Structure formats: structure tokens, C-alpha cells
Amino acid sequence: MNNKLVTCAVLLIPSLSSGLALAAASDLLDESDFLIDIPEVTSATRLPQKLSESPASITIIDRTLIDASGLQTLPDLLRLVPGFQSYLISSNKFGVAYHGVSDDFPNRLEVMVDGRSVYLPLLSTVDWTSLGIHLSDVARIEVVRGSNVPTQGSNAFIGSINIITVEPTASSGLTLETLLGGQNTRNAHLSYADSNSLFSYRLSASHEQNDGNDHYSSFYTGPYFSADSGEWQDDLERNYLNLSATWTPNLNNSLWLQLGVDRGQETVGALDKEDAHFADREHASYFQNLKFSHLYSATGTLQLSAYYNHLDLSIPNASVAEVSTLLADGLSILPPMSPATQQAFVQSLIDLNSLKLISEAGTMDTFDSELQISDRLGRLTFVTGLGYRFDQAESDILLQGGAVDEYRSRIFGTLNYDLTPRLQLTTGAMFEHSSADLTALSYRHALIFKPDPTSSIRLGYSRSERLPSLLDRNLENNLLLPPIPGYSSEPLVYDRAIGPNEDLDPEQISSWELGFYHILGTPNSYIDLRLFHERVEDAIFTYWYPESDELASEQRIGRRANIGAWSNDGFEFQFKHQPLRDVWYLLNYAYINTVNEEWERGVNKGTFHADPSMTPAHTASLLLSWSPMDDLDLSLAHYYMSDVDWNEGGFREDYNRTDLRLARRWNLAPRTELETALIVQNAFGPSYPEFYQYNWFDRRTYLQLTLKCP
């Protein structure tokens, strides 16, 4: 075992010993238990429980952290979670991973908004720019650090994120917010909430716009682009609107509804080479989320829920000039053509293949419904239920075999049993069945010991399976040549790039963890420690097979296959402390030792191995806040990540980033407040790339104004 892991375990022993001594002194918890400020969470088991009683490590990002950080996007906030990596793929495209081993489409992390999955069936990832919510709409974020499949299904293979929005009953009045600054950012947000004894609602609308970074691509300097300088910007413009409402006709029943729409455009491209290809991608999404809760007894609740997501990603076909430049060498294998004939031929090729420079195009729909029952019987608390999910996707470039769909049914349950007042056993499982004739059984067990009202020690084991996604099984992308007069009368296969594979097996992960959670004697102060061992098997990556039925020279075809395996060992540390009434800080650190087993990648790819690791060994963050006056807040945030060899983005060196925030509030009238905030990100430089080598993060300054009229 790694020396740092042993050291961390040794440091934990005194805390465990003191806890055992306290346990021996008293067998029963006293009334002080109810006075300890331990947050409640639901993400690990679906049951409301104290953070200290959760069977998994959970980080809560609340409004205090969100405001003090000065961060402007949801993915950025995950820099405050130990073991997480948040990185910019381009100026407005994010990747979020837990324990590394990721690329520009991270696909093993569940992300939800109020329990509604926003994991995309077409891309097998999350598109953070089409969620239809603003940071001001967020009440808190619950992040489960570790596999959460037994509770939330296959997508939560390595962890899960639940973004919980502000309840309509928890706010009132009008809020206006604007943000101006770096990258020519022009954002505006409005929300309004109101309620009466039975009905409450909250309406939120936002506009976001920025110019992104300035880039240069040599791909656009050929003869077809002589009038173009090759300069481009990965900009963004989007508008979104959402409504949440609750109706509570009596004490036993409540109905909650959320719906929204998000439309916009961003310029996307892979910034890993000098001749980067890029295109304008438009998105149009809408969603509905409905929950009905019924208290059928003093302890029992029945909940019915359903949601629907739709997302349309559209990218224009490539131009004749672009394709002619892209395939300049490949077109030389064809019979000689006049310029006019060649131009007509290339246009036919574009039309035949719906050829685009960027592949993120298509439509997708998800429908999910669920029945859940929770209750308490003596010392046993349980939740159980069943659900149904239907996914469908269509894409001319990613799914050339035609539209695909899949349904999944699931049954789940979690039992929480108080063996003694200080010892708790939690066990949970989920069984999933797919119309692809695949099944997955995932389970988790945890033993939690509470030596005193302020502490808990957790020993847990889980084994989970991830069903292959629609994209994993059906990804197909071929390049066909149209008929060539005097050469062929039918389309020819020029490049059989990616083919489908319906024989994939579920990915598997098994993990052990030892957790310690302790509330300190000062307000809002705690320590959270997790030691873990994880092993991933049958991970799905692209394997390259021999292929002779094509004209291209590579003579290979890619298919998704169960070829990957690796293990993670390490520890995570989170410490929040408030030494003074007006000073607090949050410190996060994670050490992760990833050992990648070698696996064959196939023709022209050879054996895969990663040196250095595909996971940064060290990630850390520090958020420090000081309020010298009641209306003045100062904060500093520092982020560090050691070097990493991303699966897609390549090797990136370590970086440090420091953000500063200064906020001042004025009471303009009774119950009317104006806050101005100056935010400087990467204040002390230097600029650095996080994922692709040509996407740099520089110093950025913003001015934020917020007006609240309750």
C-alpha cells in the first residue's frame, strides 16, 4: 500500500481511539444529538439522513460556497470537491471527471437536476451548456464520491452529482443579476417567486453571451481560404427559461412541477492541433419534471415521478472548400476530373454522408417514470421502488445505421437498520434490465459506527455494473464515395471508420472504502476523510480491427469493446473550519494512484499503457472567506492539479490558479439590497491549458451586480 495512504490511516487512529472511549462511556445518544448541526442529504440512499450516517462520502456545495467562490459555471464548482477534475475542453465546453481516466466526453458520472438525469443517450455524457438553469437557481449540490449505481443506476458508475434548485417556497420577490467582463462576457439573469397557502412558483430566465478565446487554425489557410486569416473564436450565446411550482392541497399530498427550455449556439472544435476543425453548433432543449408525494402514514411516503428530456444538436454540413482541403490527398486516388466536375463530386459526397467537421449533431429523447415507497418500521428504515426509462437517438453522423432506442427497467431498494444506538448497517441494491438483452446487478453495504454524537466511522464495500450506452453499442461512422462516372455505378466505402458492436458487456467496478466524519467544536466546522480502493474491469474503449473493404490506406475499423482495466488507490480529505465569526476556510485534497493495466487497442494502435497516469495524482483547492464588515466580503480561492495524460487531450503539466472576489452590499430601501462583486480569475497567472494544448486559461476579470427586491 502506498506510504501516503498508510500515513493517513495512522493519523486516523487517535480519532478512532477517542471515539471508542466515548462509546464505552455511554451506550445511548443523549439530547445533544439533536442540537448538532449535521446537514441532511438524500443522494446516497434516497432517504433523508444526516451526512454522518450516509453509506457513501458526500460533499455538499451550498450557497455560501457558491457565492464566496466567485465561480460562474456549474462544472467549475466541482473544483471544490476532492477527487474531482473539472476542465475546459474549449472556452464553453466542459468536462467533469472523478478519479480521472477520462476524455473530452466523460461518460461514467451521473449528473441530475432535482433528480432528473441530464446524461445524454446520444453522446454518453453531459452537455453543460444546455441544462436550462442558472447558478442563482441552485440551492445546493450533493456530490456522491464513489459509485452510486445501487441508488441511481448505471450512469452513476464512478459517482453522481445532484443539483438541487431553490424551492419556490424558499424565495420570494424579484432578483436581477448581470455579469460583465472577461472574454467580452455579457450575462443577465432574472428570477421571480411568489406563493400563497396552497400554491407557490418560481420563474427564472437568463441570457449568456461571450466571445470565447481567440484561436488560429492552419486548416483555413489553404487555397480555398485565401481570403480568410484562419482566426476564429469559440463563442457562446444562449437563452433559457424555467419554471418550478408546488401545489400542496393538504398536509398529506404535494405536487411539484418543473419545466424549462434552453436554446443557443456555440462554436466547438478540438483544440489539440494547429489545423483544428470547428463549426457552429446550435442546441434546442426542453424538459419537464413532475413529482407527486403522498404521506400514507406518520412514517411512510409514496412518491410518483416522471420526467422527459429532449435535445436537438445541429451543425451545418461542411462546405465544398472545407472537404476539398480535408480530403486533398484522398481525392488523388480518383480518376482525373475537371475543377467543375470535382466540385460537383465533393458536393455529392457531402450530401451522401451529411458530412460535418464536428460530430456532435443529432436528436435525443429520454422518458423516465418511477414509483418509490419509503417507511420506517421500528429500527428499520427502508426505501424501495421500480422504474422505467426509454431513450432514443438519431444522428446522421454518429448513428449512420439509423435511429436507435432502448428501454431499461429497474428495481431497487435500500435498508437502513440501527443495530444499536451507535451502530448502523446500510445495504442497498439495484437490478437493471435492458431491451438490448443485458442485465446489471449492483449492490453496496456499509457499516457505520458513531462513537459520539459528532463523529462517525464508515466501512463500505460496493460492486456495480454499468450497462453500455446507446452510443457504445450503436456508434457507426463511415465515409462513402458517391458513384464515379466510368469508375463505379454504386457508392464505394472510402473509410469504414467506426462500426457498431451489439455484443458489449457491462462495465464493472468494485470498491472498498473507510470513511471518517467529525463535527468540530467551532460552528460550521468539520473534517471528512475517505480512504479507498477501486478496481474497474471490462471498461469500454475503442478497439481497432483489420478492415479490407475500404479505399483508405489505414485498413482498420474501430469498434467499442470491453478492453480496459485499472485500479485506483488513495485518500480524500475535506476540512472546513471557522476559527473566527467572520473568517472561514475550506480545504480539499485528494491523492489518487491509478494503475492502468495494459490492454490491446488493435491495428495501428498497439498496446495501451499510460505513463504518466491518466489521473492526476494530486488535486487540491482552498477557499478562504473573510467578512471584516457585515456588508463586505473578501474571498480567495486556489486550485491545483498535478500533471496528467488525458485519454484524449494528451499530456498536460500541473497548474495553479488563484481567484479573488470582493463583494459589497448596500441597502437601497427597506428589504431592497444591491450587491456588487469584483471577481478576478487566475489573478496571478500564468496562462495554462487544462485539456487541449491550444486552449489556454488566462486572467479574467468580471463585474457582477445583483439586485434583490423581496
Residue 421 confidence (pLDDT): 94
Beta bridge partners of 291: 256, 305
Asked whether the beta carbons of 638 and 613 are under 8 A apart, the reply is no
- The domain that contains 148 carries what CATH number? 2.40.170.20
DSSP state of 316: P
* The three grid cell numbers given for residue 582, joined into one nine-digit string: 467572520
Q: Is residue 558, in this structure, part of any structural domain at all?
A: yes
Higher pLDDT, 171 or 464: 464
Give the β-pairing of 109-113 and 159-165: parallel
Residue 604 confidence (pLDDT): 74
pLDDT-derived band of residue 4, with 50, 70 and 90 as boundaries? Answer: very low
Q: Is residue 417, in this structure, part of any structural domain at all?
A: yes
Helices assigned H by DSSP within 446-579: 470-474
Higher pLDDT, 40 or 433: 433
Q: What is the dihedral of CA 685, 689, 693, 694, to 10 degrees?
A: -70
| Angstrom distance (rounded) from CA 661 to CA 632 | 11
- Tell me the DSSP string of 571-624: EEEEEEEEEETTEEEEEEEEEEEEEEPPEE-BTTT-EE--SS-SS-SEEEEEEE
Nearest to 264 by CA among 73, 114, 127: 127
Nearest to 461 by CA among 481, 478, 447, 477: 447
* pLDDT(687) > 70: yes
Beta bridge partners of 194: 201
Residue span of the structural domain in which 614 resides: 3-318+354-709
pLDDT-derived band of residue 496, with 50, 70 and 90 as boundaries? Answer: confident
* pLDDT(575) > 80: yes
Nearest to 427 by CA among 384, 364, 387: 384
Asked whether the beta carbons of 660 and 622 are under 8 A apart, the reply is no
How high is the mean pLDDT of the chain? Answer: 90
Q: Which of 98-112, 556-570, 593-607 has the lowest mean pLDDT?
A: 593-607
Q: Which of 1-10, 178-187, 270-279 has the lowest mean pLDDT?
A: 1-10
Q: Which of 461-470, 479-488, 493-502, 535-544 has the lowest mean pLDDT?
A: 479-488
| Angstrom distance (rounded) from CA 215 to CA 276 | 9
* The three grid cell numbers given for residue 345, joined into one nine-digit string: 463530386
- In three-state secondary structure terms, 285 is strand
Q: Is residue 327, in this structure, part of any structural domain at all?
A: no
Asked whether the beta carbons of 183 and 211 are under 8 A apart, the reply is yes
Beta bridge partners of 514: 459, 531
Residue 2 confidence (pLDDT): 45
Q: Is residue 604, in this structure, part of any structural domain at all?
A: yes
What does the pLDDT look like over 377-414, one tens digit per residue? 999 999 999 999 999 999 999 999 999 999 999 999 99
Q: Is residue 325, in this structure, part of any structural domain at all?
A: no
Average pLDDT over residues 169-180: 94
pLDDT-derived band of residue 313, with 50, 70 and 90 as boundaries? Answer: very high
Residue 274 confidence (pLDDT): 87
* pLDDT(22) > 50: no
* pLDDT(448) > 50: yes
pLDDT-derived band of residue 29, with 50, 70 and 90 as boundaries? Answer: very low
The count of domains in the chain is 1
pLDDT-derived band of residue 586, with 50, 70 and 90 as boundaries? Answer: very high
pLDDT-derived band of residue 602, with 50, 70 and 90 as boundaries? Answer: confident
Q: Which of 118-132, 152-166, 222-236, 655-669 has the lowest mean pLDDT?
A: 222-236
Average pLDDT over residues 436-448: 97
Asked whether the beta carbons of 649 and 691 are under 8 A apart, the reply is yes
Residue 611 confidence (pLDDT): 67
Residue 590 confidence (pLDDT): 98
Residue 552 confidence (pLDDT): 60
Give one word for 153, left, alpha or beta, with left for phi > 0 and alpha for psi -120 to 50. left
Q: Is residue 655, in this structure, part of any structural domain at all?
A: yes
* pLDDT(9) > 70: no
Residue 504 confidence (pLDDT): 96
What does the pLDDT look like over 341-388, one tens digit per residue? 888 888 999 999 999 989 999 999 999 999 999 999 999 999 999 999
* pLDDT(224) > 90: no
Asked whether the beta carbons of 49 and 39 are under 8 A apart, the reply is no
Residue 12 confidence (pLDDT): 36
Assign 3-class secondary structure to 348-412. Answer: HHHHHHCCCCCCCCEEEEEEEEEEEEEEEECCEEEEEEEEEEEEEEECCCCECCCCEEEEEEEEE
Nearest to 211 by CA among 242, 230, 233, 196: 233
What does the pLDDT look like over 536-558, one tens digit per residue? 999 999 998 887 766 665 567 88
* pLDDT(331) > 70: no
Model-wide pTM > 0.85: yes
Say whether the peptide bond before residue 686 is cis (omega within 30 degrees of 0).
yes
Q: Is residue 348, in this structure, part of any structural domain at all?
A: no
Report which residue type is found at 702.
Answer: Y
End-to-end C-alpha distance for the chain, whole angstroms: 56
Residue 484 confidence (pLDDT): 78
* The three grid cell numbers given for residue 428, joined into one nine-digit string: 442497498
| Angstrom distance (rounded) from CA 447 to CA 56 | 11
Residue 228 confidence (pLDDT): 64
Residue 177 confidence (pLDDT): 97
Residue 644 confidence (pLDDT): 94
* The three grid cell numbers given for residue 641, joined into one nine-digit string: 492539479
Asked whether the beta carbons of 46 and 372 are under 8 A apart, the reply is yes
* pLDDT(423) > 60: yes
Containing 538, the helix (H) or strand (E) segment is strand 526-546
Residue 670 confidence (pLDDT): 87
Q: Is residue 57, in this structure, part of any structural domain at all?
A: yes
Residue 489 confidence (pLDDT): 77
Strands (DSSP E) found in 101-220: 109-113, 116-117, 138-145, 159-165, 173-181, 185-195, 199-210, 214-216
| Angstrom distance (rounded) from CA 488 to CA 585 | 70
Handedness of CA 150, 154, 155, 159 (dihedral sign): positive
Q: For the purposes of burial, counting CB atoms within 10 Å of the CB of 581, is it exposed (0-12), middle (13-18) or buried (19 or more)?
A: exposed
DSSP state of 503: T
Q: For the purposes of burial, counting CB atoms within 10 Å of the CB of 50, is it exposed (0-12), middle (13-18) or buried (19 or more)?
A: middle
- Tell me the DSSP string of 430-469: EEEEETTTEEEEEEEEEEEEEEETTEEEEEEEEEEEEPPP
Asked whether the beta carbons of 49 and 41 are under 8 A apart, the reply is yes
Contacts with 78 (C-beta within 8 Å, 6 or more apart), sequence order: 61, 84, 86, 96, 143, 161
